[in-house]
Amino acid sequence: MNEKCSIGMVGLGVMGRNLALNIADHGFPVAGFDTDPLKRAEATGNSGGERICVFPSLAGLTEALTVPRSVLLMVPAGPPVDAVIGQLLPLLGPGDCIIDGGNSFYKDTDLRSQAAGATGVAYLGVGISGGERGARTGPSIMPGGPLQAYETVRPIFEAIAAAVNREPCVGYLGPGSAGHYVKMVHNGIEYGLLQLIAESYDLLKRGLHLSDDELAATYAAWNETELSGYLLEITAAIFTERDDLTGERLIDVILDEARQKGTGKWTSQDAMDLQVPLPTVDAAVAARHLSMNKGDRLRVAQVIHGQERRFAGDRDLFLVNLRNALHAATIATFAQCMALLRTASKVYAYGLRLGEIARIWRGGCIIRTQVLEQIREAFKADPDIPNLLLHEELGAEVSRRRQALGWVADTAADLGIPAPAFMASLCYVDGCASPWLPANLIQAQRDYFGAHTYERTDTRGSFHTEWESGTNNHQEGGENVRPR
Ligand code: 6PG
């Protein structure tokens, strides 16, 4: 290939290769690099190969690019990203751009963009969702970093992204680590939704004793309703898959210990730092951790009995309530995570447009679901809405299903089936809708044992009581009792 390439791709593993093929299919020549010669060969061996040129060195790759050069990294998050940047920077110059397309931690992205920026090289942190298939056929793309650098690669991203109603599922999100932050929260939502669906499966399997065929049919039917989304679609398909080794359903020979790379945990951790409640995601992260100790679970099961009762009531009611509870909990999960994005946007000065994020998530990504259309509309109507539960339509959807959510939590507890994400979602909804909470007692207790002061309902300021001597209402000056 004599013509210069529009973009470089570093890392030709399955994600990098598929993205390279997707880019090449859209008419943009790609220069590829991987340390593994086999991966280099695979990248050119597939369709679109005539527009992918591979190089055995990064120097070869950078020389093949049009100026200003754009190099997309699809390497594992963490030290490999720093290693590649270290080798690339001496080969690039002012105006060139490094794009990290992996699931990098947003604070790493901030540090890397400062380091690259100091040499005049722009740095884009770009969340890419959709897995291997999405990378090949149309992912959802969440770019952040310098706007000018984004403009250079915008035509490529818009061409390769998934499209919904002809709108590409990509759009500039904000400066610095905005793109990777949004991708992290996307994954937090992914954790929440996966856990909710897993709990519904548990209730249907252990509570109603549905067979794999019945499970497949149930999820397929639910996917035709307001719950419709990619995760329900693949859930239905999973129950029909047979294992090559045993001929059994594959799902029944998969170990019940969930793994993780940690993006859900980062979301929970950051939400705690920002004091934004994210109980459904927290519960999902904890549930994965709990699942990993199967040995301990087997031992505790010998001590604590009485689990796994079969549901003896109305089966149709069970199914309807579970479906409604899943929808309410899904909205509650999005409400929590959008509230996190709203706060993060202010604290980190991202200037996020939440409606634009909902738009980008409607196609290509793992959490794409029908409710995102309503969420997008909600932010269109009021870009500053503090919580989606305040939106008339979404709030009403949850309100109508509040009883079902409570019923599912009750029934799960009664059957001895753990449903932490449903319960956390229920408590989030009830907590948000509580005009009064028992936090006055916590204020009093903190003041009792630690003289931390408290606020009153009738007067401004902070107060302290000598609780043991009964001396009341000494006003304390100046102390900021709201930790920030
Ligand atoms: C996506 C996925 C993708 C990956 C997660 C899995 O959007 O395409 O989120 O990024 O599947 O990293 O994360 P865990 O290993 O933490 O479950």
In angstroms, rounded to a whole number, what is the distance separating the alpha carbons of residues 459 and 465?
Answer: 15
Q: How many CB atoms lie within 10 A of CB 307?
A: 11
Place of tokens 């503090």: 386
Q: Is 183 a catalytic residue?
A: yes
Q: At CA 439, angle to CA 433 and CA 444, rounded to 5?
A: 165
| pLDDT confidence of residue 476 | 64
In angstroms, rounded to a whole number, what is the distance separating the alpha carbons of residues 332 and 394?
Answer: 9
* CB of residue 268 inside a 6 A radius of ligand 1: no
pLDDT < 50: residue spans in the chain = 478-484
Active-site entry in 190, 199, 356, 397: 190
* CB of residue 22 inside a 6 A radius of ligand 1: no
* CB of residue 190 inside a 6 A radius of ligand 1: yes
Q: Determine which residue's CA is closest to atom 17 belonging to ligand 1.
A: 260
DSSP code for 386: S
CA of 261 to the centre of ligand 1 (A): 8
Site to probe by mutation for ligand 1, drawn from 126, 185, 257, 261 as the one with most ligand atoms within 8 Å of Cβ, is 261
In angstroms, rounded to a whole number, what is the distance separating the alpha carbons of residues 106 and 188?
Answer: 14
Q: Is 151 a catalytic residue?
A: no
In angstroms, rounded to a whole number, what is the distance separating the alpha carbons of residues 23 and 141?
Answer: 13
* CB of residue 130 inside a 6 A radius of ligand 1: yes
Burial bucket for residue 484 (CB in 10 Å: 0-12, 13-18, 19+)? exposed
* CB of residue 192 inside a 6 A radius of ligand 1: no
Q: Determine which residue's CA is closest to atom 9 belonging to ligand 1.
A: 187
Residues in Cβ contact with 143 at an 8 Å cutoff, skipping those fewer than 6 apart: 124, 125, 126, 127, 150, 153, 157, 170, 171, 172, 173, 179
Q: Which CATH architecture has domain 7-176?
A: 3-Layer(aba) Sandwich (3.40)
Measured between alpha carbons, how far apart are the two ends of the chain, in Å? 57
CA of 187 to the centre of ligand 1 (A): 6
| pLDDT confidence of residue 3 | 84
Domain 183-432 has CATH 2.160.20.10: no
- Phi then psi for residue 327, to 5 deg, are -65, -45
| pLDDT confidence of residue 46 | 62
- Phi then psi for residue 306, to 5 deg, are 90, 10
Q: Determine which residue's CA is closest to atom 11 belonging to ligand 1.
A: 131
Q: Which atom of ligand 1 is nearest to the CA of 194?
A: 17
* CB of residue 216 inside a 6 A radius of ligand 1: no
Q: Determine which residue's CA is closest to atom 2 belonging to ligand 1.
A: 129
Sign for the CA dihedral angle at 265, 271, 274, 275 comes to negative
Q: Which atom of ligand 1 is nearest to the CA of 131?
A: 8
Average pLDDT, the chain: 95
Answer for the pair 161, 169: CB distance below 8 angstroms, yes or no. yes
Structure-token pair, residue 145:
């970093």
* CB of residue 261 inside a 6 A radius of ligand 1: yes
CA of 293 to the centre of ligand 1 (A): 22
| pLDDT confidence of residue 472 | 72
Q: Which atom of ligand 1 is nearest to the CA of 183?
A: 7
DSSP code for 205: I
Sign for the CA dihedral angle at 229, 230, 231, 232 comes to positive
Structure-token pair, residue 478:
């100046």
Active-site entry in 107, 132, 167, 183: 183
CA of 417 to the centre of ligand 1 (A): 27
Cα torsion for 349, 353, 356, 357, to the nearest 10°? 50
Domain boundaries, the chain: 7-176, 183-432, 439-478
In angstroms, rounded to a whole number, what is the distance separating the alpha carbons of residues 65 and 7?
Answer: 6
227-252 burial, b if ≥16 CB within 10 A, otherwise e? bebbbbeebbebbeeeeeeeeebbbe
CA of 447 to the centre of ligand 1 (A): 44
Pick the CATH number of 439-478 from 3.40.50.1100, 1.10.10.60, 1.20.1600.10, 1.20.5.320: 1.20.5.320
CA of 214 to the centre of ligand 1 (A): 28
